Structure 1
C-alpha cells in the first residue's frame, strides 16, 4: 500500500489542485470573454507565433501542448475552420504535417494578448513578490523537466 501524505504535503497538494483549477477557469473565462479564444487556442497561437516560420510539426506541437495526437487533430481542425491556422505537408520531407499560423491567427493573438496578460497579472502575478516568482519558476521548471524525462523513458512511449 502506498504511504499517505503528511498533513503539510496534503495541504500543499490540495491548495495546488484547487487554486490551479480556479486560476485556469478564471483565465479561460476571461480569454473567452475578451477574444472568443479558448486557452488551448491561445496556447497554439503563441507557440506558432514563436516558432521559426510560424510553423511546427504536429508531433512537436502536441508534445509542447501536452496533447494526445487525437486531441491535437481536433484542436487544429477547429482552428483551421476558423481560419486561425492552416495544416500543410512538411516542406522538408513531405511525410508529416505542420500547423501554420495564418494572418488571421496572428491578428487574433495580437488582439487577445493584452487582455490575457492583464488577466494573468491580476489573477496570479500581482499577488507574488520577486522571491515567490523565482521559487515557483524553479519548482515548476524542475518538475517539468522530470515529468518530460519520465514520459520519454516510459516503455509505452518507446514502442
Structure 2
C-alpha cells in the first residue's frame, strides 16, 4: 500500500520531517507540563496536600447545598484523596461543617470548596443560582470569601430543571 505523502521521494522527506518536528514539539510540551506547570499547580492552596506543612491559619464554617430545591448531602472526608493527601479545604463529618487550613490566609472562596467537593457547577444555571451568607444573598456568587464561623447556603438550579412542575395547579399526586 502506498501511504499518502510517501510515494514521491521529495514528499516523503517533507512528510517525515513534519512528523519528526511534530513529535519534538509534543515531547517539549509534555516536559514543560511535567517539570514546570504541575509543580506550580501543586503548590497552590486549593491543590496542595497539607499533611507536611506548617498550618498557622485555620477556620471552620458550615455549608448547605440545595439543587433544584432538594438538599444535597455533603459527605464526610471531602478533600481527602487517595494516597493520604489531605487538601486545604476538607470535611470530617457529614453535618456540613467544613474546615480550611493553610500557612497564612489564602483568600479561599466558596467556589474553592465546590471545586474540591467536585460539585457539578457547569450543570447549573448560574443566573438562577444563589449563594447566601448568614441568610443574606451574596452578590459575589461563588467568589464569596470564606470566613470563620459563617454559614453558607447554596441554592442551585440545574440547567435541566423543569420549573413548570413547581407552578402546576393540579392536585397533588399520592
Structure ranking higher in strand proportion = 2
Give me the TM-score of the superposition, normalised by structure 2: 0.26
Give me the TM-score of the superposition, normalised by structure 1: 0.28
